[in-house]
Amino acid sequence: MSNHDSDKPVETLWAGDWLTMKRQGRWEYVSRARGIRAAVILAVVDGDVLLVDQYRAPLQRRCLELPAGLVGDQDAGETALASAARELEEETGYRAAQVESLGEFFSSPGMASEGFTLVRATGLTRVSEGGGVEDEDIRVHRVPLSGIADYVAARRAEGMAMDVKLLLLLGAGILAEKP
């Protein structure tokens, strides 16, 4: 017998500009307001992956991440691919000749309904310094894929938070047995 409350109505407990707190039966969760989604960008230039870090208020510290952005926050008709191309350029200063979807994923499905489209960006050309828009304080990192585990470990040792999506880059190395 199933007890997942899918037959119960969804109640909105609180709604802000960007987030909505909901309840369905005994379950509480957060979703993006207005149907906004996210795009996360995997961009590799000559064997180096592009990463960013920025201050994240929920964590009270800077967080190392793949470049990403909201889909539909500025234009309700924007596609995930268009958003990914725009955000990559804004955040990192690199323009992609091509972007392709690698699928939809969910980072914290027990707490949030938010999903993201993972996008691969190729044919990259540096067109600016990046850093985001307006008051965003985004720092760009170009890290050799061959040294990603050491780079992440060093940033973690400095107290930087790590976005779960970095596991995409660490995958096989995390599973390897250590002597």
pLDDT of residue 1: 55
Q: Would residue 123 be called left, alpha or beta, if left means φ above 0 and alpha means ψ between -120 and 50 degrees?
A: left
Tens-place pLDDT, residues 107-160: 888 889 988 999 999 999 999 999 888 888 999 999 999 999 999 999 999 999
- The contacts of residue 77 (CB under 8 Å, 6+ apart) are none
34-43, 48-57, 75-84, 102-111 — most confident range: 48-57
Looking at the domain 36-169, which fold is it?
A: Nucleoside Triphosphate Pyrophosphohydrolase (3.90.79)
Looking at the chain, how many residues does it have?
Answer: 179
Both structure tokens of 73:
């926050």
Which strand ranges, in their side-by-side order, compose the sheet holding 27-32? 10-15, 19-24, 27-32
Q: What's this model's pTM, rounded to 2 decimal places? A: 0.89
Q: Which residues are catalytic?
A: 134
Residues 2-13 have a mean pLDDT of 88
pLDDT at residue 172 is higher than 70: no
Q: How far apart are CA 89 and CA 126, in angstroms?
A: 9
Which residue ranges make up each domain of the chain? 1-34, 36-169
pLDDT of residue 175: 60
